[in-house]
Amino acid sequence: LILSSLTPEDAGEYSVRASNSSGTDLSTAARLAVNSAVVDESFQTGTWGYVTALALQTDGQILVGGSFTTLGGEARSRLGRLGTGGSVDPTYDPSADRTVRAIAVQPDGSAVVAGEFTTLAGESRDRVARVNPDGSLDPDFNPGANGTIYTLLEQPDGRILVGGEFSSLGGSPRGRIGRLNADGSLDAFNPAFDDTVVCLAVLSNGDILVGGEFDKVNNLNVPRLARLTPDGKVVTAFAPQVDSGFFTSVNVLAVQSDGKILLGGRFRDVAGEDRGNFARLNPDGTLDAGFAPEVNRYIYAMALQADGAVLVGGDFTEVNGVPRERLARLVPNGSLDPAFCPSVSSVVYALALQSDGNLLVGGNFTQLAEADHADLA
């Protein structure tokens, strides 16, 4: 079957049957999807090695982190910068010796970067550093952590939340989470988590959402998702009770404009109700019963669009029983967008929305929408 002269208005899913000239059906119904997502073929900036972090500067330039050793055909060790169209910035090359897993862009264009590395730009930096807008290393920002950092989040006051699997930050004990002042010195914030912190989000009142693989916070039973006050106390009234079974985790969080909280990861239930790796909470932490998409495997990345739709990436192959290979869009009520179906050949780890609405996709793949793109598109 060949469809010709399609327009964007034709995007969607169709049920197709073959029939003869008298109108008698000759086949069972088949599903046909006309995709609204069009790959930008002018953006040909692949990597050698996967992409785990994407961040946008205020001028639209794109910071890319991961395990790669080349970016757009140029030598770049795990951190690089692209122009808005995907060209490699020749002046920005602060090489890291191991994987970069998180990037937080600051208002002045500097970037706090974190991950597994122990050197950056040829200098000793234990898993966290700050890079100036010109790509040089900030010599005064050197707190150091003794284990991998998976997530960073700059608060409105300029302080930086840090989460991972470390037990020391800035030379002092910290239980998988800590907070740095703007100059890199350690803040007094010191809640204790019993296992890895994977993701962070900040609420409008300054409270902090923390997701990961943990069971307890400050010796309180708070599996996989916790809410903290700005000074690090557990908000005990917020108790969604995410699945605490083996190998479960909250990997990504996003707060919607109405205060509702989206969580994605590896879990089968929330608040005792079936939820396949994706759920939405009301602002008070209770489960949003009307939002129940079913994702068959894990979610690692999320991006919110202005119209309330949510983009998710991971290693799933179905959403709501419909084929969706590692990238999908859901409308605000949790229904699958039938017109958005750009299959990805392998895992998606990072998503970022540009100001023009284009979506950046990073991960460990070779194709997106059947076009060749190595780990970044």
Residue 114 and residue 106: Cα distance in Å, rounded?
14
State phi, psi for 264 to the nearest 5 degrees: -130, 155
pTM for this predicted structure: 0.88
pLDDT of 177 reads 99
* Residue 180 β-bridge partners: 160, 186
pLDDT of 32 reads 47
pLDDT of 369 reads 84
At residue 18, does pLDDT exceed 80? no
pLDDT tens across 314-343, in order? 999 999 999 999 999 999 999 999 999 999
Q: What is the 3-state secondary structure (H, E, C) of the chain?
A: CCCCCCCHHHCEEEEECCECCCCCECCCCEEEEECCCCCCCCCCCCEECCEEEEEECCCCCEEEEECCCEECCEECCCEEEECCCCCECCCCCCCECCCEEEEEECCCCCEEEEECCCEECCEECCCEEEECCCCCECCCCCCCECCCEEEEEECCCCCEEEEECCCEECCEECECEEEECCCCCECCCCCEECCCEEEEEECCCCCEEEEECCCEECCEECCCEEEECCCCCECCCCCCCECCCCCCEEEEEEECCCCCEEEEEECCEECCEECECEEEECCCCCECCCCCCEECCCEEEEEECCCCCEEEEECCCEECCEECCCEEEECCCCCECCCCCCCECCCEEEEEECCCCCEEEEECCCEECCEECCCEC
Percent of the chain at pLDDT exceeding 70: 89
pLDDT tens across 89-143, in order? 999 999 999 999 999 999 999 999 999 999 999 999 999 999 999 999 999 999 9
State phi, psi for 219 to the nearest 5 degrees: 65, 15
Count the Cβ atoms, other than its own, within 10 Å of residue 111.
Answer: 25
pLDDT, greater one: 288 or 15: 288
HSE, side-chain direction, 13 A CA sphere, residue 275: 32
Spell out the domains of the chain, with CATH numbers in brackets. 46-372 (2.130.10.10)
Residue 214 and residue 221: Cα distance in Å, rounded?
9
pLDDT of 1 reads 46
Residue 138 and residue 16: Cα distance in Å, rounded?
60
Q: What is the mean pLDDT of the chain?
A: 91
pLDDT of 373 reads 87
